Amino acid sequence: MVHADKLAEVTALLAERDEDFRPFENAQVSLDGRPEPLWCAEDLKRLLGYGPRESLQGAIDRAKTTAATAGISLRENFIRGDALGLDGRLYLSKYAAILVTMHADPNKPGAANAQSYFALQVNRQALEDERRVRTRLAVADENKKLSGVAKTMGVTNFSRFHSAGVEALYGGLKIDEVQRLKGLGRKDHYLDFAGSEELAANLFRITQTAAALRRQPVKDGALATSTHARVAQAVRNVITEAGNLPPERLPPARQSVDRVAAEVKQRVLGASPEIPSAPTGAGAPVIDVFARDPEDMAEKS
């Protein structure tokens, strides 16, 4: 079973790290019709630690050369603001901002933080790992709260109460059947190997059941158990009606969330992750920071 204290420690570290990343989030410019945000080159220059009289143009020019070598449109990634209905300054796509960061002066005070931020944006596996840690902790915490609410509503058979919700969410499968379906061992907890999507479904089930029980006028354990099953079935219906896979069909993660939490902790406390190297030379492969759809990005572990 998951060690909630360890997850809480890592989640706290991520929260501290996110404070360092917040200036980059706040500097984003979101426009209608564009799927991803932009960064003003002048704002990025400031975040990298360049002084007012220092120029970022050299890094921008080298970034453009890298993009052109990779066959990437400069007009779509290095954009004059007046073409967007903004001011006349230069705006960068995420991919252009990454390239500028790669080519910026590494000795600038904000360079390491910028590299860490943008490295995370293109590392799908790292993002998924962090989502798993955060959501698994939330599931554990909210499940405790749900048990407390259920107790006040007269539930005494907590095993049956929790199983009712799980079975309804997982299409009638019992917990041990979910374990076997996903190829997990008898001692493995299915939520410890659940991806962020599956964890989010369970978190919604848990929080919505707790909310429904708090509004339930009658304190009756059997009624509370049926409420859990009803809410879980409703969550499952939302998932399938949206065209998404039900939780039992989502593949398990390769590692338990405890092991992933240890790796995330090491990554946050350790050296800054590297941004993928830029391609060089004729015919060099396009680096994955140019993947237009996140699903096209190469996974990194």
On whether both 44 and 104 belong to a single domain, the answer is yes
Residue 282 lies in a domain: no
Residue 1 lies in a domain: no
On whether both 35 and 107 belong to a single domain, the answer is yes
Residue 266 lies in a domain: no
On whether both 201 and 95 belong to a single domain, the answer is no
Residue 6 lies in a domain: no
What pLDDT is recorded for position 121?
83
Q: Is the pLDDT of residue 150 over 50?
A: yes
On whether both 185 and 255 belong to a single domain, the answer is yes
What pLDDT is recorded for position 44?
97
Q: Which domain does 232 fall in, by range?
A: 125-260
On whether both 103 and 215 belong to a single domain, the answer is no
Please enumerate, as own/partner, the contacts of 60-68 that have beta carbons within 8 Å and a separation of 24 or more.
60/90, 60/100, 60/103, 62/99, 62/103, 63/96, 63/99, 63/100, 63/102, 63/103, 66/99, 66/102, 66/103, 66/278, 66/279, 67/95, 67/96, 67/99, 67/290
Q: Is the pLDDT of residue 289 over 70?
A: no
Q: Is the pLDDT of residue 288 over 90?
A: no
On whether both 87 and 134 belong to a single domain, the answer is no
What pLDDT is recorded for position 32?
86
The pLDDT of 69-89, averaged and rounded, is 92
- Range scoring the smallest mean pLDDT among 85-89, 160-164, 180-184, 252-256: 85-89
Residue 56 lies in a domain: yes
The pLDDT of 143-156, averaged and rounded, is 97
Q: Is the pLDDT of residue 80 over 60?
A: yes
Domain count, the chain: 2
- 252 pLDDT band, cuts 50/70/90, is very high
Q: Is the pLDDT of residue 165 over 50?
A: yes
Q: Mean pLDDT in the chain?
A: 89
Q: Is the pLDDT of residue 299 over 70?
A: no
Q: Is the pLDDT of residue 297 over 80?
A: no
Q: Is the pLDDT of residue 285 over 60?
A: no
Residue 291 lies in a domain: no
Residue 299 lies in a domain: no
DSSP state letters, 204-230: HHHHHHHHHHHT-SS--HHHHHHHHHH
pLDDT tens per residue, range 183-238? 999 899 999 999 999 999 999 999 999 999 999 999 999 999 999 999 999 999 99
Q: Is the pLDDT of residue 7 over 80?
A: yes
Q: What percent of the chain has pLDDT over 90?
A: 80
On whether both 132 and 252 belong to a single domain, the answer is yes
On whether both 42 and 119 belong to a single domain, the answer is yes
Residue 280 lies in a domain: no
On whether both 46 and 106 belong to a single domain, the answer is yes
Higher pLDDT, 215 or 284: 215
Q: Is the pLDDT of residue 65 over 50?
A: yes
| Domain C-terminal end among 79, 106, 123 | 123
pLDDT tens per residue, range 89-144? 999 999 999 999 999 999 999 999 999 998 888 888 999 999 999 999 999 999 99
What pLDDT is recorded for position 1?
60
pLDDT tens per residue, range 39-57? 999 999 999 999 999 999 9
What pLDDT is recorded for position 123?
87
Residues ≥6 apart with Cβ < 8 Å to 115? 101, 102, 272, 273, 274, 275
| Domain C-terminal end among 123, 146, 161 | 123
On whether both 143 and 185 belong to a single domain, the answer is yes
Q: What percent of the chain has pLDDT over 70?
A: 89
Q: Is the pLDDT of residue 287 over 60?
A: no
